């Protein structure tokens, strides 16, 4: 059958219709700052809609005061920031995720993508808590760069495989990706994996404690936090900022192995040692506060621990706590104390003092001179404690709910304290 010849206008309309169909059918796959139907079904979310900075604000702030703007469908760092200022963060925290974004940088420019950033007044800049995927123009940088400062590094921690690193020149778009999956971390540059490591391992802590972060005790420990963009005094542009959240994987582990102090860090001059399979805390000659904190953060968990008070016994178990140099731990303490002093109650060291004390009739549950079992369950803003199988307190508190951090044992000041600990077992939730 002979086909009729289309007039030019009809041919144009048909071509336009086919183009429109293809474009809509792919859900604007090639259009910046959009999600395909497939991405939506997989759980991807846009962190930038291409039109506004909704969902972003200043670090430690409530709004964006600069130097950031939306420019032609990009988040634009204008170049007015410096080491102390110029950071914006997401309004939402993220724990485990796949994060992708396109970026380009000005000639000789410097920027970065940070994650698991924690906000507190004492943290003046985000990089003392949040790891950084470094974005910098190595070729045109004015000065010498150390290897750990170059583009694509996990800043001051892990270097990329240079054979796989393929960064496009300043002014051209690159695509980067971070995978953080329950401590397993991968960095990608333009579709190629360049870095892979496990967070919170012996190797990770060795790097943290021997380099730039040796004086930043909370660096990289947070299990969740804010995504952060950096204006480091040079223009930079970001688009297609997308994130897919991954599930948390829970497990049960021993916090104390019965042999040594592995996995813990002591703060202060008081004594912490292992004897006959027991962890022992004892007042030292300075008779000051002492703390023994896990290297890792534990946020939602069910913890059981046995203790026996040999002398005085004024101690405690801190939850969601952070370390303040040189020897101070801030957080919420589940009390361990001599009879009559609210063992199992919750005390806040941030300033509110006692949040909840135990009923007087439960003071006799504590066994003097014998082993006791303390259980602490923390889920979100909800904390429950048990002593020897009896519920002591049950509380919900918004401030606790917003916190995260380490588990830490305490020696009270005043001297004369000795407590034995064993069977520290935690189940993350």
Q: Model confidence over 382-417: pLDDT tens digits?
A: 999 999 999 999 999 999 999 999 999 999 999 999
- Nearest C-alpha neighbor of 93 from the set 299, 384, 323, 349: 299
Q: What local confidence, expressed as pLDDT, does residue 28 receive?
A: 43
Do 417 and 287 form a contact (C-beta atoms < 8 A)? no
Region class of 363: left (phi > 0), else alpha (psi between -120 and 50), else beta = alpha
Looking at per-residue pLDDT, the higher value among 15 and 221 belongs to: 221
Region class of 316: left (phi > 0), else alpha (psi between -120 and 50), else beta = left
- Residue 425: DSSP 8-state: E
| pLDDT tens digits, one per residue of 70-85 | 999 999 999 999 999 9
66 band by pLDDT with thresholds 50, 70 and 90? confident
What does the alpha-carbon distance between residue 399 and residue 369 come to, in Å, rounded to a whole number? 35
Do 79 and 235 form a contact (C-beta atoms < 8 A)? yes
Helix (H) or strand (E) holding 41: helix 37-42
- Asked whether the whole model's pTM tops 0.75, one would answer yes
Q: What local confidence, expressed as pLDDT, does residue 324 receive?
A: 85
| pLDDT tens digits, one per residue of 163-217 | 999 999 999 999 999 999 999 999 999 999 999 999 999 999 999 999 999 999 9
Structure tokens at 380: 């979100």
Q: What local confidence, expressed as pLDDT, does residue 325 receive?
A: 73
Start-to-end Cα distance in the chain: 70
Looking at per-residue pLDDT, the higher value among 327 and 225 belongs to: 225
- For residue 147, count other CB atoms closer than 10 A to its CB: 9
| pLDDT tens digits, one per residue of 10-23 | 333 333 333 333 33
Which residue is listed with tokens 């000065």? 143
Which fold does the domain 37-245 belong to in CATH? Jelly Rolls (2.60.120)
Average pLDDT, the chain: 93
Percent of the chain with pLDDT over 90: 90
What are the start and end residues of each CATH 2.60.120.560 domain in the chain?
A: 37-245, 252-428
Q: What local confidence, expressed as pLDDT, does residue 327 receive?
A: 73
What is the pLDDT averaged over residues 97-116? Answer: 98
CATH architecture of the domain covering 252-428? Sandwich (2.60)
Q: What local confidence, expressed as pLDDT, does residue 29 receive?
A: 53
What does the alpha-carbon distance between residue 226 and residue 240 come to, in Å, rounded to a whole number? 18
Do 381 and 355 form a contact (C-beta atoms < 8 A)? no
């Amino acid at each position: 059958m002979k086909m009729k010849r289309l007039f030019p206008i009809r041919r144009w309309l048909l071509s336009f219709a086919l183009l429109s169909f293809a474009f809509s059918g792919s859900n604007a796959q090639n259009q910046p700052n959009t999600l395909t139907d497939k991405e939506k079904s997989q759980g991807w979310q846009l962190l930038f809609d291409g039109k506004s900075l909704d969902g972003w604000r200043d670090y430690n702030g409530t709004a964006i005061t600069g130097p950031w703007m939306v420019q032609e469908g990009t988040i634009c760092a204008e170049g007015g920031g410096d080491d102390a200022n110029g950071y914006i963060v997401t309004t939402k925290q993220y724990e485990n995720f796949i994060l992708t974004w396109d970026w380009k940088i000005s000639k000789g420019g410097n920027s970065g993508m940070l994650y698991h950033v924690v906000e507190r007044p004492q943290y003046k800049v985000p990089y003392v808590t949040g790891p950084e995927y470094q974005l910098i123009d190595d070729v045109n940088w004015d000065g010498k760069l150390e290897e750990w400062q170059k583009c694509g590094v996990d800043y001051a921690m892990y270097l990329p495989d240079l054979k796989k690193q393929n960064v496009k020149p300043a002014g051209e778009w690159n695509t980067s990706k971070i995978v953080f999956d329950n401590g397993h971390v991968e960095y990608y540059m333009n579709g190629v994996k360049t870095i892979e490591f496990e967070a919170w391992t012996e190797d990770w802590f060795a790097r943290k404690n021997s380099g730039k972060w040796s004086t930043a005790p909370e660096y990289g420990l947070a299990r969740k936090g804010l995504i952060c963009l950096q204006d480091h005094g040079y223009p930079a542009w970001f688009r297609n900022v997308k994130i897919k959240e991954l599930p948390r994987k829970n497990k049960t582990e021993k916090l104390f192995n019965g042999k040594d102090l592995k996995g813990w860090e002591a703060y202060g001059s008081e004594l912490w040692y292992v004897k006959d399979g027991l962890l022992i805390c004892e007042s030292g000659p300075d008779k000051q506060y002492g703390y023994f904190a896990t290297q890792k953060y534990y946020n939602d968990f069910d913890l059981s621990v046995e203790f026996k008070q040999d002398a005085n016994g004024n101690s405690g178990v801190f939850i969601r706590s952070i370390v303040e140099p040189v020897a101070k731990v801030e957080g919420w303490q589940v009390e361990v104390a001599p009879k009559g002093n609210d063992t199992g109650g919750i005390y806040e060291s941030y300033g509110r003092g006692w949040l909840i004390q135990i009923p007087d009739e439960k003071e006799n549950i504590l066994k003097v001179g014998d082993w006791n079992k303390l259980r602490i369950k923390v889920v979100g803003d909800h904390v429950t404690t048990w002593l020897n199988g009896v519920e002591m307190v049950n509380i919900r508190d918004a401030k606790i709910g917003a916190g995260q951090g380490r588990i830490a044992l305490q020696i009270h000041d005043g001297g004369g304290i000795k407590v034995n600990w064993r069977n520290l077992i935690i189940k993350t939730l």
